[in-house]
């Protein structure tokens, strides 16, 4: 039963029994993420007033120019998670390798690892467009009390115990799932608390929005080109509307509310796709499926892909079920 004006903390505690690993640890872990999100939100809202926008002059493991807010958000989330002493390992899109926490402490009993994209769409900061944070939570698979290993992070997406994102926009929202539906909480900046504003979020079965960087059209596989033409064709329920922000969190969030599909396929420029399986695709796919949506690489369910490396990239098609299924049909036909 959803309660109006319920805070995120109250909601987590009240619904803890629906989480199969209920122990109180998840509540503490979400409190850490909530706190870091509020700190990052404060900095995002000051962008332009202080020296927090622009490049830092460094390139991250992804080969991308790091923005100042990338570095800031990364430090804040890692620092907050470590300080709460609730996770045994962290992997970030901005870090070369995973971070083992208290790995030499024999009494270290923490069971959770977190994978995070600290600031998705950060290149949009300079022009005041919405950005976000994406996070994914797993239970470790190696013995508790031992140092975490790469095996703990290379789990299939269907093993996630929780995932979510924060969108820093006209209002700041935290959306998450623990495998029992998707709920959204909006930050009241005057009080500093997240309140339940979007209970039981669901993708419409079909939509009228397609989100893809059409500037790369010439580089896309034929199946995606054919699907885009299908979206543009004048029929009873088409053409669809093209909407592309360039921030996965923002595009996904809009499509979940209004109905739509997001496509970031492989291309002649990025033969394996560009989005990261562990930091972006798996958490968003988990949320999508819990919200009656679907996520695929064009042929395979995202959550069934076995990761082989920490920064693995995959093609990503996600959104309303019927739309993703139709895109997969075009991919198979072209193949």
Residues that constitute the known binding site for Mg(2+)? 93, 117, 119-120, 280
Which residues are annotated binding-site positions? Answer: 93, 117, 119-123, 213, 244, 262-264, 274, 280
Which residues are annotated binding-site positions for substrate? Answer: 120-123, 213, 244, 262-264, 274
Angle between helices 25-46 and 68-83 (to 10 degrees): 150
Whole-angstrom Cα distance, residue 289 to residue 302?
10
| Backbone torsions φ then ψ of 155, nearest 5 degrees | -100, 150
């Amino acid at each position: 039963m959803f309660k109006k004006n319920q805070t995120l903390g109250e909601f987590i505690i009240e619904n803890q029994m629906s989480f199969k690993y209920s122990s109180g640890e998840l509540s503490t872990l979400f409190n850490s993420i909530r706190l870091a999100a509020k700190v990052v939100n404060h900095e995002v809202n000051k962008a332009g007033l202080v020296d927090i926008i622009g490049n830092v002059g460094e390139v991250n493991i992804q080969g991308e120019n790091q923005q100042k807010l990338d570095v800031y958000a990364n430090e804040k989330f890692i620092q907050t998670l470590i300080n709460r002493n609730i996770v045994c390992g962290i992997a970030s899109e901005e870090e070369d390798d995973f971070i083992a926490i208290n790995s030499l402490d024999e009494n270290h009993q923490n069971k959770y690892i977190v994978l995070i994209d600290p600031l998705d769409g950060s290149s949009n900061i300079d022009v005041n467009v919405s950005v976000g944070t994406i996070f994914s939570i797993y239970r470790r698979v190696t013995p508790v009390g031992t140092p975490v290993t790469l095996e703990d992070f290379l789990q299939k997406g269907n093993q996630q115990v929780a995932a979510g994102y924060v969108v820093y926009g006209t209002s700041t929202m935290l959306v998450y799932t623990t495998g029992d539906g998707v709920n959204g909480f909006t930050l009241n900046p005057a009080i500093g608390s997240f309140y339940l504003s979007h209970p039981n979020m669901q993708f419409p079965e079909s939509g009228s929005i397609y989100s893809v960087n059409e500037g790369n059209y010439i580089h896309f596989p034929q199946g995606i080109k054919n699907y885009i033409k299908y979206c543009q064709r004048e029929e009873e329920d088409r053409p669809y509307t093209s909407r592309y922000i360039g921030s996965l969190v923002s595009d996904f969030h809009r499509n979940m509310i209004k109905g739509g599909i997001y496509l970031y396929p492989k291309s002649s420029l990025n033969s394996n796709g560009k989005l990261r399986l562990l930091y972006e695709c798996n958490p968003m796919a988990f949320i999508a499926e819990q919200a009656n949506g679907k996520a695929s690489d064009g042929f395979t369910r995202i959550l069934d892909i076995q990761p082989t490396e920490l920064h693995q990239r995959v093609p990503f098609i996600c959104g309303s079920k019927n739309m993703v299924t139709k895109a997969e049909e075009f991919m198979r036909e072209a193949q």
